[in-house]
Each structure stands twice: as C-alpha cells, then as structure tokens.
A and B are shown apart, each in its own frame.
Chain A
Amino acid sequence: MQKLLAIAALALLALPFQAQAQAAAATPRSDADCAQLLERWAGDPKAAPKSEINACKDQLAAIAPAAGPAPEPVAAVDPCSGPDAGSSVLCWGPWAALAPAAAAPLVSLDFPETFIECDSVAELASQCVPQLTLVPPVEGCQPGTPCGFATIVAGSTSSGDAEDTAFGRIDLAPDGTRFSIDPDTGEPIDSVPMTTVVTPRPDDGYGNLRSTGREGDVGSRLIARVEQDDDGEIKLAADIWTHGTRENARSGYFAWGTATSQAGLNALNAGNVSVNFTGPMSVNNSTTGNMTVNFGGNPNWTGTWTNAAWSFGAGGTVSGPNLISRPDQFTSNVTGSGNFVQGAIVGEQGGPRGLTHIIDVTLEGPGRIKDVGLLRDVVAGPVIAP
C-alpha cells in the first residue's frame, strides 16, 4: 500500500513538468533557437530530445527557401569579375606560357599578349563564358579614321632582315604631302613637307605617287601606288617611305587607308557578306596575299600568303575594322611563338576599299618573315543567270 501511495505522489509531482515539457514541445521555437539547438545537437546528440530535434529540422527545412539568405545576383557571383578572377578555374583560359617543368626550358605557346574576359552572356547565365581576347601587337584602328601599317628599317633601302625590321603605325596626309610614323619602339618619324605628283599606272588601276621634300640635310619621300577619289584625295596607298639624312635615314614599306566607318561595318555585318581581298605584299612583292573577311554576328577572317618558295595560311577574329590572327588557326608550317597577322579594313562600299595588314610569322624552312601589304577587294563580276 505504501508503494502505491509513493507512486501516486510521484505521478502527481511530475504532472506539471510533463505538462511543461509538452508545452515546450508544442510551443514553436524561433528559427534562431532551432538553429542553435541543432548546432548543439550536432556536437552533443543528447542535447535535446529527438522529437525536438526533428521538429526543429522540419521547421528550418520548411522555412529555408523563404527565409534563407537571398541568392546573390549572377554578376555578383561571376567568378571572373573579381580581383581573384585569375585564380578561378572558370576563368582560366590558355596560359600565355607553360609553367616550366623541372629543369625544362620555358616553352611559350603561340599567343601574342592576351587577356581573358569573362562575360556573363545573359542575366540568367549561371556561369561566365570565358572569352579569349587577342591584343593586337600594333595599335589597332578606329572606325572612320586614318589607318596604316609600316615596316621600319635603318637606312634608305626599305628592306632588311626580319629581325632588324620593326612595325609601326603610319599616317598620311590625303594629298600625300606629309606622313608620320609611330614605331613600336623608338622615336616617332615626321616627314618634312613634300611636293607630290601622281601619274597614271598602266597595269592595275592604281596611280603612281611620288612625293619628295627636303629641309636642309633632311629629306622625305614616298613612292607609292595610290587610289584617289574624284577630288584627288588619296584613299588607299602602299609601298615605299623614306626619311632622314644621308647618314641617318630610316625607311620601309607601308599600307594605308581610312578604316571603314562604323556605319559601313554595321552594314557589312548586317548583310552577313563575305569580302575577298587580294594583292601583292610590299616587302616581298612576289608574295600574293588573299584574305576573306566573313562579316556577320561573329565576324572572322581567313587568309593565305603565297609565293614560289613558300605559303602559309591563317585565320582569326574581326573586331570593328581590325583583324587579328588566332594562334590556333595558322597552318602547321608556321612554327615558334609570337606569330601574328594584324590588319584593318579600309575604305567604304562603293569606293576604293582594301585591307591593310602586317604579317610576322616564322615558317619551317624560310624562317622569319615580316611584311606589310595593301590588298584590294575583289569585285565580283555580274551574276549571269543560267
């Protein structure tokens, strides 16, 4: 009887606590409390009853999508947009140079200077799209502005070894009375004022320009093929420039025009047209260049350079009026590193139009070749209906 009484007393005493416990279980915990409880439970499985733990799990699972931290916008998680972009695997493109293996020489890939740009192509993009942007070795051209390239050698012969030949940008007065050259390295070259004469050329529709000037011991000259408009303004020009004194002259070859305007480029891209350009190179004029520019949403180009001794091919991208080769699009006989073809589309539809460009390639056999050339568009003949 005493035992029964003792059990009844204990049951009575326990009732409030049991009710309290049930109340506690029934009372929803705050999300923060649940999180704390789960955290403690993770370290100590006996920290709370399993029912409480399960309740908290259910509670947090139910509220997580709504109450969790808002997802960051795509741009904010773009792994290529931050300062650590270079460390992100999503942003790694081709290396400019391979890390040297143990005791091995540093091997350079065929890339000129490049940088990787990671675009988020759309707001919904879940990850960036690595994009290879090729940096032109020589400053590119702006639409609608004068645009030319030149080789530069010491002396007045215009030619030299490829290793001793530099590249630069050339600008030319539309009347041919002045020119200036901005070399990759070294001092800029500004011609003295020159007098010009243009005479007919028998073979190819070009005119022959001769411009010469002298100020004391310093002289300048241009000997060039030119194409002029009806007002006599030079629209395309190519071949020889020389400047300096008898003892200290510089010279070279050049190709010059006015880069196609943005409106002209837009029209070409909208038309998805392909334009073929052809002509002789200037340094080695037995070499014929043929290039095809495919306009459109993703404009690109291909080209070949051929003479009796060698030939090679290349291809690349088009950005505005500028063309630059892609290292993976050279033919296999182009070896070594640093090979490039760079150019610009000059002139407008309906007028004199061409492609000014420079090449710097090393070929198996012939070795290194540097050249500059003005190619003109190949006007397709009339389509004859069958």
Chain B
Amino acid sequence: MNIRNVAGALLLIAAGSTAQAASLALVPAADPVVQNGAFTVNLVVNAADAPGIHPGLQSGAIRVDFDRTLLTYNSFTLASGLIFFSPLAVTTNGNAQTLTLGFQNAPDAGPVGTFSFTATGPVGSLATLGLVDADDLFGSFVNKAVSDKPYVPTFTGTQVSISAVPLPAGIWLLGTAVGALAARRRLKPR
C-alpha cells in the first residue's frame, strides 16, 4: 500500500469517526488515473459505532460493480490478519462486471483490502465503481466480537477519471530545446 492509499484510508477513517453509522467505502489511490495504467482502490471499513463489543471483529460480504469497457480487474489483496469466508468471485453480464467477496476479522476501522484495476477506457471518460452489500435481502455485516451482532453499514463507491498518458518532463525539456535551436537557426542572419 503506498502513501496515498494510507492517506486516503486515514482520511476516510477520520471522516467516519464522527459518523453515527458504520460504513464501507472504496477509496482510489489516485484520481485521475492514467489510460492503460494500473491503479489501486482500497476497501475501507469504519465500524467503530457498530453494535456489539469493541474492539470488534467485523465481517461482511460486498459487491463491486464496474463497466469492463472502462476498467479491467487485476487482483484483490486482503489486508493482513483478515480471511475470506467467501473468496472473490468475478461475474460478467454484458459490459457490467461484478466482484463479490466476503471477509472477516476486520478491525473496527481500517483497510479491508486493495483492488487493482487497469484503466482501459478512453481518455476523459469517468469510470464508476459501485459498492453494495452482497446480501441484498437481509444484509451480511456483523460484528463478531464475543458473539454475532448484525448491522447495516452505509456503502460508498467511487469514480475515477481516465486521463492521457503524461509525457515525462525530459521530453518537454528536449522539445523546448529543440524548438529553441530551430528558431535560433531560422532567425540567424546568413
């Protein structure tokens, strides 16, 4: 996890610390993201206000939806100490792709894991990552500390814009120098 990931997660935790409800959120490591470049999105939990005993052991199943013409899913890495009760599954329906996974032993607040995607959409497009509870009937989230206490967190997805590949700074300098030389040559009296 890079510094931006951590900073994003901490920001979300800080923001969530004043909230009254537990939450799950997707936090991209960067925005915009570069076309054809890989980027990461953190899944972050804040269940400090969830029912039950604290420090808690948070568990639940989530579903992430996105347009596969804009993003390509690469991998998911579970945070240290957590385990899957339902391993990640990928399903595709037309252009919509869905990632589903169930985790447990998450702390009250912090990253659950990190998704890796590649931005494959056209420059300027906005890729949306939806986040919902995988159990749309009763919900799946529980605080398992001591015994199981169910709760319904809020879910917040994210969006990333896809940008062109940035040219390295050296290219700009070289171009400037070449341009300057060309101009000087043209303007030089014969």
Contacts and interface: CB of A to CB of B under 8 A. Distances in A.
Contact of B83 (A200, A214, A281): A200
Interface stretch (B25-33, B135-143, B160-168): B135-143
Given A214-B137, A221-B138, A285-B53, 16 more contacts: A157-B150, A197-B85, A199-B84, A200-B83, A212-B135, A219-B137, A219-B138, A221-B135, A223-B150, A225-B147, A239-B147, A240-B142, A240-B150, A246-B137, A280-B146, A285-B52
A289 to B, nearest CB: 11
A282 interface: yes
Q: What is the size category of the interface that chain B forms with chain A?
A: 20 to 34
A157 B53 CA distance: 17
**In the complex, the 8 A-B pairs of residues with the closest C-beta atoms, listed nearest first:** A239-B148, A285-B147, A219-B137, A156-B138, A280-B146, A199-B85, A242-B138, A280-B147
Given A219-B137, A249-B138, A285-B53, A240 B148 contact: yes
Contacts of B145: 203
Main DSSP-derived SS at the A contact region: strand
Given A197-B86, A199-B85, A282 B147 contact: yes
Given A199-B83, A240-B148, A210 B138 contact: no
Interface of B: 52-53, 57, 59, 83-86, 102, 104-105, 135, 137-140, 142, 144-150
Contacts of A225: 147-148
A22 B1 CA distance: 132
B78 to A, nearest CB: 13
A286 B147 CA distance: 9
A224 interface: yes
Interface of A: 156-158, 197, 199-203, 208, 210, 212, 214, 219, 221, 223-225, 238-240, 242, 245-246, 249, 251, 280-282, 285-286
Nearest to B134: A212
A363 B52 CA distance: 22
A286 B53 contact: yes
A246 B150 CA distance: 16
Nearest to A243: B138
Given A224-B148, A225-B147, A208 B52 contact: no
Nearest to B135: A212
Contacts of B146: 203, 280, 285
B138 to A, nearest CB: 5
10 contacts: A203-B146, A210-B140, A212-B135, A221-B138, A223-B150, A245-B137, A251-B138, A280-B146, A280-B147, A285-B53
Contacts of A156: 137-139
A208 B139 CA distance: 17
Contacts of B57: 202-203
A158 B142 CA distance: 12
B54 to A, nearest CB: 10
Nearest to B59: A208
A208 B138 contact: no
Nearest to A249: B138
A242 B150 CA distance: 11
B187 to A, nearest CB: 75
A165 to B, nearest CB: 15
Contact of A208 (B53, B85, B135): B85
A286 B51 CA distance: 10
B136 to A, nearest CB: 8
Contacts of B85: 197, 199, 208, 210
Contacts of A203: 57, 145-146
A210 B147 contact: no
